[in-house]
Structure 1
Amino acid sequence: MQLSGFNNTSNRVFDFICLWILPLGYFLLLCAMFFLPGRSLHHKMFYGLFSIPSFIVLCLRPRELKELLREPIFVAVLLFAAWALLSLSWGPPMDQSVTGQFKPALHTLLLFAGCYLLVRYRSEIIQPLLFSAAMVGLIASAYNLFMFTRHYEPGMRLIGSGAFDNPLLSSHVFGFFCTYWLSVSMTCKRRQMLWLSIPAMAIMFATVIATGSRTPLVALTLAALWLSFISWNRRSFILLGTLLIGGAAVAVLFSQMIVERGDSYRFEIWQLALQKIAEHPWIGHGYNATLTLDPGIGYTLQEPHSFALGVLYYVGIFGLLPWLFFQVRCLLNSWRYRLQPLFIIASTWLVFGIGAGLTEGGGIISRPKEHWFLLWIPLALVAALSINQRARRLLAMPIRTLTPAALQQLTASAQVIEEDGLGPKVLRLVDGSFLKLFRRRRWYTSGSFNPYSERFAANSEQLRNLGIPTPQILDLYRLKDGSSAVHYSPLPGSTLRQVLQGITAPAVRQALVERFGKFMAQLHEQGVYFRSLHLGNVLVLDDGEFGLIDLADMRIYPSSLSLSLRKRNLRHMQRYAVDRRWLFEDHFGALLQGYAVMASKSAVDNLHRQVLTGSHPARAH
């Protein structure tokens, strides 16, 4: 009993962290620098809301590490971090404890672990999270830009409010979100989002220009080129044309900003850095080594102004190899899975970071700061997406545009199975397949970021991975009016309600209800919360197994369902008069007996109490 109680508590903690804490921590990691008073608070926020919770989750369920360790990107990052920490043995004497040196590497690895858990268990929230963080960045940047123009004097450079204290470092984050809006403008399918993304991108680009930094201009150019090819469509021609015109405009309007500082001593700095790298080219000077460069400008520099040179200086060629590998692998994975919009966004961020890292940066592993937006944040997201895409938890099916003429041709002579006041909702086509239509949702709702047709398809795939039969998805469609549709092959069988209606022998019906109780317990134990669970959405297949249909309104939780969610599931079934009579009146004992085969005693007792105390009005069906 004590062990069962402990497992239940650990499951609830695991679920709470994965479903709520990690999304909040990730959101604040992306946008909190715009309003926090300093980096120190940003670090603590990341540690408390993302890094440490990820560590707790891995302690509660160590098997989650298996998928991480099968991902080449994460393995390369792990090798890079391990080599960096090993280099402490030949680096200079440490000014701080060994634990202090290990912490940045550990928190970086936990960023990857947390992103993997976030994408695995809350994949539907990733796009809304990115959008919300980008909106915070947009509003803050618009305010910063407004205040900057009010107090502008020649030579001033925008820094930004919040935790920003340097125009160049600020430009990394501004460019990061400019890249996001650029990606959205290329991948979004709704006009409202397109009309929002274009002015948002313009505001963020103006903010980048106001910082007076030239590096993000190069990085944005590379990101735009990558984006135009990875999401090749008609907008790519517009983007490439805009890139040429915009580049010419920037060169003319801001030529002084671009030319007056020359090369900013970059060649001298790189030459000095290469001379020091040549002293220990293979193993580097050590992760904790200090770097002092004097290019003759009156003060010394502590960075080589190039991420690649920084890696070579600190950990040498042996450290550079995994560093190059995980970036190249990220880009290859993103190209391979480019049908998934999140890969396009994340890889474009990475290309922006690669461009910015050509002439800036140098520290290889650090606490959360602006440099994370150039490398670690995009890398962690691509790695997480790659793991879950390979596990078939993410949708990897092209979404076709269905014109009114094509829709009319597809549904010619179709039988209407279900309809509402707006027209047909489910149709049986002449070939026996089904077409399910989902009405257009408001652009700012979750149904806009994750259309219900795509949820239907993703849920179908995930249930199949759990061994639960579901309809085979044939195609996904987007209609001109903003609606969406899923085309699928039906499961061979009849609904459980129809089968029970056709059974005259009470003993046979009782046996079937007992089997359904076991099936329902299986769903609950596997974390499947099917909001629309009733006997009309459960099929009895030709082989006697149970299958599920109407899958859009469903979520798979990290652990077995809590007692409260099980109650909600039962309440939904109690609303249907026929279901209630068969399941909770005539054959309630059989239902409990079947449920007890898979579920714990507390869950069975909970079901019993729920039925005995339930007083919900039943629906006729």
Structure 2
Amino acid sequence: MMYERRWAQSWLAIGFLWFLVAIALAPSNKIYQQGLVLFLWLPTLILLWSARGVLVQLWNAQRALCVSVGLLLLWSALSLFWTSAENTEREFKRLLYIVFFLLFFPLLVNANFSRLIQLMQWGGIGLGVAALLSIVQFYGVQGQPWVSRLYGIGEISHPILGAYVIAAAIIWMLHWQPQQRWFQVLWVLSLVSLGAFLVLCQSRGAAFALLISLVAMPYWCRDRRSRLIAIGAIVAAVLGLVLMYTLIMARGSSYRPEIFQSSVQMIALNPWTGLGLGSFYSVTALGHQFDHTHNMLTHIAVELGIPGVLLWLAVWLCVVREIWRVRSTIFGKGLLGLWLFSSLAMQFDAASLTDTPRAEWFISWLPVGLTMALVWMHARRPGCDKISGSN
């Protein structure tokens, strides 16, 4: 099959690394999106026909997930008939991007989960480099005081959304430790850089979601290493609270309760249809205006109504169902950690589901795409029984 050839797999691997790392290191968002077209959308489109057998297996193995995703995207497309968005063609094109992104993963994995894990490890190292560059530029070059919230480089420049990307990388790096000594050195240095970035961003939502995910890690990993990580996370949290208490409490609740209340009132005005995909809206709380609801579920409800929320929940629950079936594998354990982190992170921000690929995709469509790669765990191919081995 054409998608199995070395040049095709290399093309797909470059696309995945571009998605993970160039979000921070690309000179601009335009170049990042153009790179995705070249390295991710285009190869997926070209190679899909040769992988039609894999798509049939995907349908047979994960029918509930496929139906849920299909209905969500269909409802999103239907909402374009009543949306106030200026460019409905662009909104529809973004839905196609999601389709190709999700179908990209079964092609990329090709029954080799160790290779996928290694690609994500390199992605984490690349984000570690971006985190270090961000710290040097912000505090060194720009001369900002250390008490200032860190603004990263590239598309991780937002202190909240950038923190979610970095925290997600910490999750998969801690679950998937490399075996080679030289690789472990890079792994440790990257984790230090990623951790420093997260602390300096002062994003309480990302830190809380990461803490809970790491504390829960022994539940599915069931080994000494995961217990040490959980204990270390608790100690780090207590130490951070003591040392940064003033900074943590200075921003109060950041208007989150008021934003949520205002969002619910907006949803009540159009509970069944929503405003339509891509509609512009703002949320007013205590005299302040915010450009979104700071919560994934309420954002979806504002745009797509209650049906949209139910369909997204169906997708998300189907994802964890598929992950739970492979929770005994190394890949499944890492995915479970990422799913839990993403579920928590969605409650505090990341109010974007169908925009072009950006930081929010790391806690929405990335877990869904990685779950669709699990189709290979159901395939009867040589080597598939070894996927739970060492990475």
* Residue 95 of structure 1 pairs with residue 83 of structure 2: no
How many residue pairs match? The answer is 385
Asked if 1:326 is matched to 2:344, the reply is no
CA distance in 2, matches of 1:170, 1:382: 23
Gaps of 5+ in 1: 1-10, 400-447, 450-621
Q: CA deviation at 1:144?
A: 2.6
Look up the match of 1:388. 376
Change (3 A) 1:379 1:12: closer
CA-to-partner distance for each residue in 1:493-548, whole Å, 9 max, x for gaps? xxxxxxxxxxxxxxxxxxxxxxxxxxxxxxxxxxxxxxxxxxxxxxxxxxxxxxxx
Residue of structure 2 equivalent to 1:476 = none
SS at match of 2:154: coil
Shift of 1:243: 2.4
In the TM superposition, residue 249 of structure 1 has moved relative to its aligned partner by 0.7
The Cα of 1:101 is off from its aligned counterpart by 1.7
Q: What letter matches 1:286 in structure 2?
A: G
Residue identity matched to 2:357: P
In the alignment, the residues of structure 1 paired with residue 43 and residue 77 of structure 2 have an alpha-carbon distance, to the nearest angstrom, of: 23
Give the corresponding residue for 2:162. Answer: 170
Corresponding position: 1:21 with 2:11: yes
How much does 1:344 deviate? 1.9
* Counterpart-to-counterpart distance in 1, 2:338 and 2:3: 32
1:335-375, Cα deviation, whole Å (9 max, x unpaired): 32123212222332222222211110222211010001111
Q: Does 1:268 align with 2:255?
A: no
Please state how far the C-alpha of 1:165 moved relative to its aligned partner: 3.1
Aligned to 2:302: 313
- Residues of 2 paired with 1:19 and 1:398: CA distance? 21
Question: Following the alignment from structure 1 to structure 2, what is the Cα–Cα distance between the partners of residues 61 and 184?
Answer: 28
Q: Which amino acid aligns with 1:114?
A: F
Query: In structure 1, how many angstroms separate the alpha carbons of the residues matched to 2:322 and 2:216?
Result: 14
Query: For 1:110-121, what aligned pairs fall within 5 Å after superposition?
Result: 110-120=100-110
The match for 2:359 among 361, 365, 370 is 370
Tell me the TM-score normalized by structure 2.
0.90
1:279 to 260, 264, 269: 269
Q: 1:367 corresponds to which letter in structure 2?
A: T
How far is the alpha carbon of 1:122 from its aligned partner?
A: 5.0
Rg larger for: 1
C-alpha change, 1:25 and 1:193, in structure 2 (3 Å) is closer
| Counterparts in 2 of 1:16 and 1:317: CA distance versus 1, 3 Å | same
- Describe the SS at the equivalent of 1:294: strand
Which residue does 2:151 correspond to in 1?
Answer: 159
Post-superposition Cα deviations, 1:206-238, rounded to whole Å, max 9, x if no partner, equal 111111211110110132134221111112322
Match of 2:173 in 1: 181
Q: Sort the Cα spacing of 1:43 and 1:183 in 2 relative to 1 into closer, same or farther, 3 A.
A: same
Report the aligned-residue RMSD: 2.5
Alignment partner, residue 429 of structure 1:
none
Alignment match, 1:255? 245
Note the residue ranges of structure 2 that are not aligned, 5 or more in a row. none
1:327-476 map, 5 Å: 327-385=316-374, 387-393=375-381, 394-395=384-385, 449=391
Deviation readout 1:6-57 (Å, 9 max, x if unpaired) = xxxxx65873663221111011111112221111111111122111221222
1:17 touches 1:53 (CA, 8 Å); kept in 2? Answer: no
- The answer to whether the Cα contact below 8 Å between 1:18 and 1:121 also exists between their aligned partners in 2 is no
Letter in 2 for 1:156: S
**Structure 1 residues 397 and 200: alpha-carbon distance in aligned structure 2, compared to 1, 3 A threshold:** closer
Deviation readout 1:287-338 (Å, 9 max, x if unpaired): 132221111354x212100001111111122222221122222223223212
Give 1:391's aligned amino acid: A
1-side partners of 2:233 and 2:81: how far apart? 48
Q: Is the Cα–Cα contact under 8 Å of residues 142 and 203 in structure 1 kept in the other structure?
A: yes
Q: 1:37 to 1:51 in 2, by over 3 A?
A: same
Asked if 2 retains the 8 angstrom alpha-carbon contact of 1:303 and 1:361, the reply is: no
C-alpha distance in structure 1 between counterparts of 2:252 and 2:275, whole Å: 31
2:83 paired with 1:81: no
Query: What is the percentage of aligned positions where both structures have the same residue?
Result: 23
Structure with the higher strand share, 1 or 2? 1
Q: Do residues 50 (structure 1) and 40 (structure 2) align? A: yes
1:196–1:291 distance in 2 versus 1, CA, 3 Å: same
| Residues 235 and 195 of structure 1, relative CA distance in 2, 3 Å threshold | farther
The amino acid that maps onto 2:377 is: Q
